[in-house]
Amino acid sequence: MNSIAIKAYAKINLGLDVIRKRPDGYHDIKTIMQTVNLYDTVSIKKTKFHSVTVSSNLSYLPTDHRNLAYKAVQIFREIYPLRDGLSIFLNKRIPVSAGLAGGSADAAATLIGLNKLYKTELSLDELISLGAKLGADVPFCLTLGTALAEGIGEKLEILPPMPDCHILLVKPDINVSTKHVYENLHLDEETVHPDIDGILKAIKGNDLYGITALLKNIMESVTVREYPILEDIKVKMKENGALASVMSGSGPTVYGIFDDLSKAEKARDLFKSSPCGKHVILTKPYNPPR
Ligand code: ATP
């Protein structure tokens, strides 16, 4: 086998809580992650040169050591020093810097691809320990499906799939820095935390309406204040039939959950003709066969 193509799936957060700031500066979070049926394609080809080259369909994406797919190759090569060179092409469909874990998904897909291409037979757990060195979301991107994530996001408990529904993603044209969000998040006794355990119970009970009643992202307390457009999107989602609407991760993507396809399609068309029209994607939960 000389080449392989792997799908790199995006995620959303079904409820996101920040529990505390840790002495090492990171934050402990508690969130439920859900893979959605939106993916980049990571194509890996062996070459006869020793070098690794990364390219993509997006001219502004870094293709050097800053790219997470490149970093994934480096980390894999530390265990298996490969003689071949590699050429990696990322066909990006997941919006970049969106709160959808696009970079982490590409890193996870690269590790999976290399493991298959070189028949190195690393187990999922072994891939997860490698992936954790690349970023807190990479272990989830290797696991996929529905999962509770704790710690900095790396401690995972696989959950039953969330009920079927339609998910409309809208990424406004703004840049939100994750670091800035954490620095401006004030946690005290007054803070109303999302009910992650309640969402967990609703997932276990296959209760879509129980989930949507509790969707909440604590990071919105910073981002919505600074970017009123996020609130506008949430309101518009609900006016157009979303059961609930919330920001994913540290944003700025806002998603709405619909139980009715025709309402979701209508909302999609409406957002597509709005100033946020560039990144509007109607998708569904994706759960891999286990
Ligand atoms: P998360 O939800 O994990 O916080 P995100 O969706 O907000 O991630 P990404 O799309 O992963 O953000 O991109 C964040 C940064 O990572 C960008 O500055 C981008 O340049 C860089 N990056 C490195 N490699 C990649 C990649 N393969 N795809 C996308 N971004 C990448």
Q: Does residue 29 carry a pLDDT above 90? A: yes
Q: Is 69 in the pocket of ligand 1 (CB under 6 A)?
A: yes
Q: Is 96 in the pocket of ligand 1 (CB under 6 A)?
A: yes
Is 233 buried (19+), middle (13-18) or exposed (0-12) by CB count in 10 A?
buried
**Most ligand 1 atoms within 8 A of CB, residue of 97, 179, 247 to mutate:** 97
Told to judge if 17 belongs to the known catalytic residues of this protein, a careful annotator would answer: no
Atom of ligand 1 lying closest to residue 95 CA: 10
Residue 77: phi and psi, rounded to 5, are: -70, -20
Q: Is 146 in the pocket of ligand 1 (CB under 6 A)?
A: no
- pLDDT tens digits, one per residue of 140-191: 999 999 999 999 888 999 999 999 999 999 999 999 998 999 999 988 877 8
Q: Beta strand pairing status for 52-56 and 155-158? A: unpaired
- pLDDT tens digits, one per residue of 36-93: 999 999 999 999 888 999 999 999 999 999 999 999 999 999 999 888 899 999 999 9
Cα torsion 33, 39, 45, 49 to 10°: value is -70
Q: Is 220 in the pocket of ligand 1 (CB under 6 A)?
A: no
Atom of ligand 1 lying closest to residue 178 CA: 4
Q: Which helix (H) or strand (E) holds 281?
A: strand 280-283
Is 1 buried (19+), middle (13-18) or exposed (0-12) by CB count in 10 A?
exposed
Active-site annotation holder among 17, 40, 106, 137:
137
